[in-house]
DNA sequence: TTTTCTGCAAACGATTTGCATACAC
DNA sequence: GTGTATGCAAATCGTTTGCAGAAAA
């Protein structure tokens, strides 16, 4: 089951670092809880919050995204479209290994679950003495839809 | 054996797209041939060329890097340090699968050869109907040296 | 009441672009 | 000659920062 974070997780992690719980930080996290599986940029989040009634400064969005990433509630990633994007850092270990399939024709980003990389990480540990904490895997190619259009 | 590109490959691929062979494009490619295994940014390339006798504008470096990537002589990548980096797109299939190990402590980027991903790509093709053309794999963690320092 | 946070606007750094000139073909 | 490429400087765009006022603890 996809299990995710609560505002209480946020509160606890903020306290542990002597940061304050603020409405802005809560609403930024909430945006991600409301948009599972999406890869939102700072501008995206800002736009979504503005469309709702929440007033928030863009700089605050940037600062919140960075903080939430440090608290490991979000994960930062780059898809090469010129801006950083974020997604909820799921707490479910079975979802740990989801990779991104990026269609170079239409730009769609979909996900793919896999656990093959556990072996690979063990291999890296053994051969290189490198301790893997996290990884990012991106496959570039052509999605089903774009293939059938040609 | 690591086999790489020649200036003749460059000439051919430029002609195929009705682009012109210029000294600037040659020297940019040459920088990468002279620095195998490095991940150079536009500023890096510009600096290296300036240190040699070659005068070249930074904008031209950017334009050349993009063109060389389109010609699949270079590969563009992001390591999250705020700028795009490039490396030679080796022609050797056995080197196709080299992943990047990024130490989050000292920032060192090393490489790791592997062919496990062939299976994974086949799996993606079959289950998702997504045709994989390329991939980028980054492992974040702590390198051997940084581990022993703690 | 003390410290951290927010919002704004200005600063920033990487990358792109417009345009006149120079060069490859 | 013709069309593409270059170099420069200005423009752009995502992101960061300084600072005064606002809010959490």
- Asked if B136 and A141 come within 8 Å (Cβ–Cβ), the reply is no
Cβ–Cβ contact A109 with B under 8 A: no
Cβ-contact B21, B10 below 8 angstroms: yes
pLDDT in tens, A129-144: 999 988 889 998 999 9
Name which of A131, A132, A143 to mutate to probe chain B: the one with the most chain B Cβ atoms within 10 A of its Cβ.
Answer: A131
pLDDT in tens, A53-103: 889 999 999 999 999 999 999 999 998 888 999 999 876 655 567 889 998
Judged by C1' against the alpha carbon of A57, the nearest nucleotide is C7
> Looking at residue B81, what DSSP letter applies?
S
Cβ–Cβ contact A83 with B under 8 A: no
Among B124, B131, B143, whose Cβ lies nearest the Cβ of A130? Answer: B143
What mean pLDDT do residues A39-49 have?
Answer: 97
User: What is the domain class of B1-90 according to CATH?
Assistant: mainly alpha
Cβ-contact A56, A46 below 8 angstroms: yes
Q: Where are the domains of chain B?
A: 1-90, 94-150
Which chain A residues are Cβ-neighbours of B80 within 8 angstroms?
76, 78
The two three-digit tokens of residue A128, written as one number:
């290189």
Distance B61 CA to C19 C1' (A): 18
Among B119, B133, B141, whose Cβ lies nearest the Cβ of A140? Answer: B133
Greatest alpha-carbon pair distance for chain A in Å reads 56
How confident is the model at residue B37, as a pLDDT? Answer: 86
**C-alpha torsion sign, points A7, A13, A16, A18:** negative
How confident is the model at residue B90, as a pLDDT? Answer: 74
pLDDT in tens, A89-144: 876 655 567 889 998 888 888 988 888 888 889 999 999 999 998 888 999 899 99
**Which of B30, B32, B136 lies closest to B77 in space, CA to CA?**
B136
The two three-digit tokens of residue B1, written as one number:
């054996």
Cβ-contact A139, A100 below 8 angstroms: yes
Percent of the residues in chain A that have a pLDDT greater than 90, as a whole number:
63
State yes or no: B103 annotated in a binding site: yes
Domains A1-90 and A94-150 share a fold: no
- Asked if A141 and B119 come within 8 Å (Cβ–Cβ), the reply is no
Cβ-contact B17, B71 below 8 angstroms: yes
Q: What is the CATH number of domain A94-150?
A: 3.30.1490.190
Contact residues for A61 (Cβ-Cβ < 8 A; gap 6+): A28, A42, A45, A46, A49
């Amino acid at each position: 089951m996809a299990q995710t974070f609560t505002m209480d997780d946020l509160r606890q992690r903020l306290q542990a670092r002597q940061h304050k719980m603020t409405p802005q930080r809560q609403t930024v996290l909430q945006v991600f809880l409301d948009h599972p599986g999406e890869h939102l940029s700072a501008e995206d989040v800002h736009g979504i919050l503005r469309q709702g009634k929440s007033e928030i400064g863009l700089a605050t969005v940037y600062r919140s995204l960075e903080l939430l990433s440090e608290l490991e509630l979000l994960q930062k990633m780059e898809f090469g479209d010129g801006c950083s994007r974020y997604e909820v850092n799921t707490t479910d270990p079975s979802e740990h290994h989801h990779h991104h399939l990026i269609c170079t024709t239409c730009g769609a980003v979909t996900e793919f679950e896999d656990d093959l990389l556990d072996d690979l990480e063990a291999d890296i540990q053994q051969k290189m003495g490198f301790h893997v904490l996290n990884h990012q895997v991106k496959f570039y190619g052509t999605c089903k839809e774009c293939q059938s259009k040609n």
